[in-house]
Structure 1
Amino acid sequence: MSDTDFEPLTVTYEHLRHSEDSAELSEFARRELPDRADQAAFSRATALLEAVGGNAHTPVEDRIFLAETMPFPNVLVKLAADPEPDVRKAVAGNESDKNWLVGRLTKDQVPEVRDTALRNGKTSWKMRLEGAQNPEVDAATLAFLATLGTELEPKAPAVLSSMVRRAVALNPNTTPETLAKLADDPSAEVRHAVAKRRARE
């Protein structure tokens, strides 16, 4: 056991939050978590990871590691505000995210972060619809959104998923290949949107 195990949590937390020792921070980031059965030790460890994740002196690769692997909202919220887009992108792809956190990342200023968040299964239908309507979303993400409720998530709510596919059909970034697929969509609304879009071109 190290001396820090005997320190009050707040002392260790503040130390890690302000530490400039990247080796120490990296070691904490990669440290194996205690067994969940030991609730006190487990809670302490996850609280300390919040401090490590929020410290800019923690090496970027360790912050990305935490963003990809951690299921804890307190840690992910810190990392979702990271100045490095690659860290935010890793949070955006983490399927342990809460839907409100992914929703926040669908509005990120960096396209790769937004697109990754839109592909996350935890993203709400409201955010998916807004993404499908966004003229800045890339063609590959629109192609992904165009499959929701048909090829992907076939048991999704029919009305909501067809609204997303319809918005994809009307998005100027949607490729002719994606439009061709949507022209045979099971929803009449989507097929109508494709015809409307083609008539404008």
Structure 2
Amino acid sequence: MTDETMTTDETTDAAVTSDAAVTADATATETAAVDAVEGAADATAADGVADAAADTPDAPHVEPLTATYERLRHSTDSAELHEFARRPLPDRSEQAAFSRATALLEAVAGNPHTPEEDRVFLASTMPFPNVLVKLSEDASPAVREAVAANADDKNWLVGRLTKDDVAAVRDKALRNKRTSWKMRLEGAQDPDMDVDTLDFLSRLGVELEPDANVVLSSMVRRAVALNPNASQEILERLSSDSSDEVVHAARRRLAQ
């Protein structure tokens, strides 16, 4: 090989080496640029997440239902209990919130430290059996009377109140249209039933609830006629009743 050839080869090798170096430098530069751009993007995204987190308030802590229930059930804070009793219920479409609120009302209703006027309010306005059952056992006759008059009572609940020790509660229960005819008949047969309630029962199917079942309502009126507490006025009115059975019972009593 001649010196000239060697020189040419060396020159070529040097050029190739130089090109490779340039290419490597360019690649490194591009890689660094890409890394820089991606790093900046990641940093921006992270900043955005951090900003969003900073702008979003922490979710309020919600006390577990059982804990709140027990706290309200044993609370002696009448102001807190009053606030719960009068708090508007969530919309029924908010099922979880609505269920929670009605469950807590049961605890409030069953707490004797809830002001009586609030218990009467709940007894008069709430349609929820769990709340009304609690209130039907209330020590206050006024509360039980309000339950007895509630048109949303289940018939078994209002039927139980027809046996209450307080005449006013029994009277309201027997006047409630949710009361079964069986309970009304038993009320009419009760020898301890007061005259005012007997007067009401003696008008069922005639002046009151004229569309009532004819047979059942006449059975109640007949039982009133046979009740020893029925007044003279009641007996005289029933003696001209549209039902022969009622007339016969009333006239027999008048003849005694």
- Interval of TM-score (by shorter of Structure 1 and Structure 2): over 0.9
Q: CA deviation at 1:194?
A: 0.6
Shift of 1:5: 7.1
User: Is it true that 1:88 corresponds to 2:150 in the alignment?
Assistant: no
- For the aligned residues, what is the CA RMSD? 1.4
Q: Give the superposition deviation at 1:30.
A: 0.6
**Runs of 4+ residues deviating >4 angstroms:** none
- 1:148 aligned partner: 204
| 8 Å Cα contact 2:235/2:251 also seen in 1 | no
Q: Of the candidates 235, 243, 249, which is equivalent to residue 187 of structure 1?
A: 243
Q: How many angstroms apart in 1 are the aligned matches of 2:250 and 2:230?
A: 10
**Correspondences of 1:50-129 after superposition (within 5 Å):** 50-129=106-185
| 1:6 counterpart SS class | coil
**8 Å CA contact retained: 1:4, 1:12:** no
Quote the residue 1:47 is aligned against. 103
Equivalents in 2 of 1:87, 1:186: separation in Å?
Answer: 38
- 1:96: how far off? 0.6
- Runs (5+) with no aligned partner, structure 1: none
Larger Rg, first or second structure (1 or 2):
2
Shift of 1:154: 1.7
Does residue 9 of the first structure (1) align with residue 65 of the second (2)? Answer: yes
Partner of 1:150, secondary structure, is coil
Give, in whole Å, the separation in 1 of the partners of 2:92 and 2:232.
Answer: 51
**More relative contact order, 1 or 2 (CA 8 Å, 6+ apart):** 1
Contact (CA 8 Å) 1:170, 1:194: kept in 2 or not? yes
| 147-156 or 51-60: bigger deviation | 147-156
| Residue aligned with 1:165, SS | helix
Alpha-carbon shift at residue 180 of structure 1 (Å): 2.0
Report the Cα distance in structure 1 between the residues aligned to 2:103 and 2:61, rounded to whole angstroms. 13
Give 1:4 deviation, angstroms: 8.8
Change (3 A) 1:4 1:64: farther
Residue of structure 1 in register with 2:87 after alignment: 31
Partner of 1:163 in structure 2? 219
Counterpart-to-counterpart distance in 2, 1:47 and 1:5? 19
Instruction: Indicate conservation of the 8 Å contact 1:76/1:97, yes or no.
Output: yes
Whole-angstrom distance in 1 between the partners of 2:176 and 2:61: 37
Measured against aligned partners, the alpha-carbon deviations of 1:160-190 in whole angstroms (never above 9, x if no partner) come to: 1111000111112222222222112111000
- Select the structure that is richer in helix: 2
Matched, 1:18 2:74: yes
**Percent identical:** 70
CA spacing shift, 1:5–1:88, aligned 2, 3 Å: farther
> Which range is displaced more, 74-83 or 109-118?
109-118
Distance 1:137 1:75 in 2: 28
Q: Give the equivalent residue in structure 2 for 1:197.
A: 253
Q: Are the equivalent residues in 2 in contact too, given 1:89–1:113 (CA < 8 A)? A: yes
How many residues are matched? 198
For 1:71, what is the secondary structure of its paired residue? coil
